[in-house]
């Protein structure tokens, strides 16, 4: 595949399902923008299918999911499956939000590359994204 | 060797309508990769047939929700639709918040719609430098109508006129009186004026201001007088959405006018002229700086200008005469 010279990182951030808390994700989106990334904000109430279609059309490097309503173990496998079905294994998948710490290994086993909990410093997740792009 | 095979393969997939290939090629062109010229050489022969619709106006007037409504109408007519939406890049970080697609997600499972969000990346004029090429790629993918939505433009961001066949200017009530509308610039690029949020207070006053401004324009003997269409692009109930049929009809009328009067040929000519000018500018600059590289002359020239021993116009003249004008 063609390698980029002037790398511009494009990140899709969104919320899936009936989760109406968008304060945190908007803060994260602003931080990523300030870190020089192009942030595609899809907002709330998305489905695995609508997220994956946007990721394809927009050729994003990263998908970031925000979970605050306790649906993280339900939607994560569905999104991962939809990504696999469409051959999007080269997109970095990260998640953040509020959920029990003991769920993190399960989420990572389900296919999320890295899970961040509330309280993570900006530098930490920006550094992670920059250092772990899959393409 | 391998890379060129990939490009050929990707362009083939693009021509077959593969959205992943389209998306990848757009990124390539957006990032200004060296390979992007090779991509465009292959894409270009398959372009030129789509109808291009430009939508401009200040931030928050409802460009994206209008785009959403227009897509619904166009899809009902059986047309495939490509959409390019541009949002501003931060001049400080280079990052961008792309927030237009959120209004267009009701089409996310429709294979006849392709939406691409772009950051302006420092390019002025309401679009991004690569918009020309991105539209061509979406045309080659097979989209019949392409909607180009500028970033929230103010008074003078009129580049969309060089790209679109039909330009919509979106205004809302309360954006100022007829004096604002009389200023040069953005009003003049409109083929159709949309007064959105027409359910707001003051809509009638705004409509009258616009009408009186346009009646002056009509005295100039123009063949096409921009119609003013009142719309409501967002409502809690679908039946309260207004004016979209009228808007679609006005777009169709303008399209017919362009074909009948052959004005379309002039628009296409000007578009390519503009495109060519931009490419020449980019490539000449690259060529000249490359030519000066390693000679130490670039630094010398710049310092001589700083120290007021020379001026930029003389330097450019000298460089052009030395490197570009063939000797007699």
Q: Does position B5 have pLDDT exceeding 70, yes or no? A: no
Compute the count of residue pairs across chains A and B with CB atoms less than 8 Å apart. 92
Span A58-106, pLDDT tens digits: 999 999 999 998 899 999 999 999 999 999 999 999 999 999 999 999 9
B42 and B179 in one domain? Answer: no
Same domain, B123 and B249: yes
Q: Is B298 exposed, middle or buried (0-12, 13-18, 19+ CB in 10 A)?
A: middle
Q: Are B141 and B229 contained in the same domain?
A: yes
CATH fold for domain A10-129 = Rossmann fold (3.40.50)
Other C-beta atoms within 10 Å of B183: how many? Answer: 12
> Which chain A residues touch B30 with a CB distance below 8 Å?
8
Predicted confidence (pLDDT) per residue in B200-243, tens digit? 998 999 898 888 887 776 666 678 889 999 999 999 888 899 99
Do B123 and B229 share a domain, yes or no? yes
Interchain CB distance below 8 Å, B119 and A87: no
Examine the domain organization and report whether B206 and B114 are in the same domain: yes
Check whether residue B31 and residue B64 sit in a common domain: no
Hey, are the CB atoms on B31 and A4 less than 8 Å from each other? yes
Q: How many domains does chain B contain in total?
A: 3
Same domain? B78 vs B18: no
Q: Which of A32, A58, A126 to mutate to test the interface with B (most CBs of B within 10 A)?
A: A58
Listed in sequence order, the residues at least 6 apart from B102 whose beta carbon sits closer than 8 Å to its beta carbon are A41, A42, A43, B64
- A2 vs B35: CB contact, 8 Å cut-off? yes
CB contact, 8 Å: B111 with chain A? no
CATH number at residue B221: 3.40.50.300
Is residue B266 domain-resident?
Answer: no
ipTM of the complex: 0.91
pLDDT in tens, B135-188: 999 999 999 999 999 887 665 666 777 789 999 999 999 877 666 666 656 677
Would you say residue B269 lies in a domain? no
- Per the domain annotation, does B143 fall within a domain? yes
Query: Do residue B227 and residue B303 come from a single domain?
Result: no
Query: What is the predicted pLDDT for the residue at B218?
Result: 63
Domain span holding position B26: 1-46
The answer as to whether B265 is a domain residue is no
- Does residue B74 form part of some domain? yes
Answer yes or no: do B201 and B309 share one domain: no
- Could you tell me if B91 and B227 lie in one domain? yes
* Domain presence at residue B267: no
Among chain A residues, CA nearest to B114: A57
Cβ pair B97:A37 closer than 8 A = no
Q: Could you give the CA distance from residue B260 to residue B255 in angstroms, rounded to a whole number?
A: 9
Residue B248 lies in a domain: yes
The reply to whether B75 and B182 lie within a common domain is yes
pTM equals 0.90
Res B328 pLDDT > 60:
no
- The answer on B222 and B74 residing in a single domain is yes
Question: Are the C-beta atoms of B129 and B163 separated by less than 8 Å?
Answer: no
Sorted by where each begins, the domain ranges of chain A are 10-129
């Amino acid at each position: 595949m063609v390698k980029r010279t002037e790398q511009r990182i494009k990140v899709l951030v969104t919320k899936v399902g009936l989760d109406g808390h968008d304060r945190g994700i908007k803060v994260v989106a602003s931080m990523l923008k300030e870190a020089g990334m192009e942030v595609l904000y899809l907002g709330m109430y998305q489905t695995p299918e609508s997220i994956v279609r946007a990721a394809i059309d927009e050729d994003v490097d990263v998908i970031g999911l925000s979970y605050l309503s306790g649906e993280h173990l339900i939607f994560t496998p569905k999104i991962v499956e939809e990504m696999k079905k469409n051959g999007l294994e080269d997109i970095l998948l990260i998640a953040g939000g509020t959920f029990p710490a003991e769920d993190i290994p399960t989420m990572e086993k389900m296919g999320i590359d890295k899970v961040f909990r509330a309280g993570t410093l900006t530098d930490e997740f920006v550094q992670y994204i920059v250092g772990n792009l899959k393409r | 060797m391998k890379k060129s095979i990939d490009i050929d393969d990707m362009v083939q997939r693009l021509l077959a309508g593969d959205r992943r290939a389209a998306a990848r090629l757009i990124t390539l062109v957006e990032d200004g990769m060296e390979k992007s010229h090779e991509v465009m050489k292959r894409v270009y022969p398959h372009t030129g047939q789509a109808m291009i619709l430009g939508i401009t106006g200040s931030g928050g007037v409802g460009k994206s929700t209008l785009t959403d409504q227009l897509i619904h109408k166009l899809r009902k007519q059986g047309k495939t639709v490509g959409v390019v939406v541009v949002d501003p890049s931060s001049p400080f970080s280079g990052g961008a918040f792309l927030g237009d697609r959120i209004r267009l997600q009701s089409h996310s499972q429709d294979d006849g719609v392709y939406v691409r969000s772009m950051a302006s990346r420092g390019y002025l004029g309401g679009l991004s430098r690569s918009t020309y090429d991105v539209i061509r790629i979406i045309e080659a993918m097979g989209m019949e109508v392409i909607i180009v939505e500028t970033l929230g433009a103010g008074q003078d961001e009129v580049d969309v006129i060089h790209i679109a066949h039909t330009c919509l200017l979106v205004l809302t009530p309360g954006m100022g009186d007829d004096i604002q509308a009389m200023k040069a610039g953005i009003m003049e690029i409109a083929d159709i004026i949309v007064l959105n949020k027409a359910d707001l207070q003051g809509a009638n006053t705004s409509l009258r201001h616009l009408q009186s401004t346009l009646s002056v324009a009509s005295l100039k003997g123009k063949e096409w007088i921009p119609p003013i269409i009142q719309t409501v692009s967002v409502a809690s109930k679908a039946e309260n959405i207004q004016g979209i049929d009228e808007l679609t009809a006005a777009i169709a009328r303008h399209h017919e006018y362009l074909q009948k009067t052959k004005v379309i040929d002039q628009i296409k000519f000007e578009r390519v002229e503009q495109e060519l000018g931009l490419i020449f500018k980019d490539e000449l600059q690259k060529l000249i700086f490359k030519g000066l590289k390693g000679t130490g002359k670039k630094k010398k020239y710049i310092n001589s200008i700083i120290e007021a021993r020379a001026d930029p116009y003389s330097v450019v003249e000298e460089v052009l005469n030395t490197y570009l004008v063939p000797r007699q």
